[in-house]
Amino acid sequence: MQEFTIEKFPSNGTEQDTIRIKNGLIDLTLNVLYGKQGEFFLSYCPSLNISGYGNTEKEADEFIKHEMIVFCEDLNSMQSEEKNHFLLSLGFKKERFKTKNFSKAYVDENGRLQDFDEGTVQRKILQTT
């Protein structure tokens, strides 16, 4: 089972989302936006449209980590061509000099992000460990 870390990161929008697949292992570096939604904390990965929520920021992070494990398990269950098609359909681009390294530009809080309380949105980076 893969493990993930989530670290707070300055919100400058320069970190690209990447998914690298090699020998059945998936290496992820993904932007995660987090903030409050009413009484709850929400962590949201816009490039995969995966979210986690909880009564605390830590609970929201644990929830999204679990959802990322499920995502990786589902991705690993796909055949190579299906996996490539799926990642391309999410907007990732296959890099020319790396066989299965997909990248996607950062999506900021002015894009698809909705329903966060005003002024609470911050940015984290989720990575496989």
Instruction: Average the pLDDT over 99-112 and give the result.
Output: 45
- pLDDT, one tens digit per residue, over 30-45 is 888 888 888 999 988 8
Model confidence pTM above 0.85: no
Instruction: Average the pLDDT over 10-23 and give the result.
Output: 72
Confidence of residue 9 (pLDDT cuts 50, 70, 90): low
- pLDDT, one tens digit per residue, over 56-105 is 999 999 999 999 999 999 999 999 899 989 999 988 888 754 444 454 43
pLDDT at 108 over 90: no
Residue 17: name the closest of 42, 45, 44 by CA.
Answer: 45
Question: How many alpha carbons lie under 13 Å from residue 40 in its C-beta half-sphere?
Answer: 13
- Helix or strand (DSSP H, E) at 26: strand 25-37
- 66-92 per-residue burial string, b: 16 or more CB within 10 A, e: under 16: ebbeebbeebeeeeeeebbeebeeeeb
103: which 2 tokens?
A: 């990248």
Q: What pLDDT is stored for residue 23 in this prediction?
A: 80
Q: What pLDDT is stored for residue 112 in this prediction?
A: 44
Residue 76: name the closest of 66, 86, 64 by CA.
Answer: 86
Instruction: Average the pLDDT over 97-121 and give the result.
Output: 50
Q: What pLDDT is stored for residue 32 in this prediction?
A: 86
**What is the domain partition of the chain in residue ranges?**
4-128
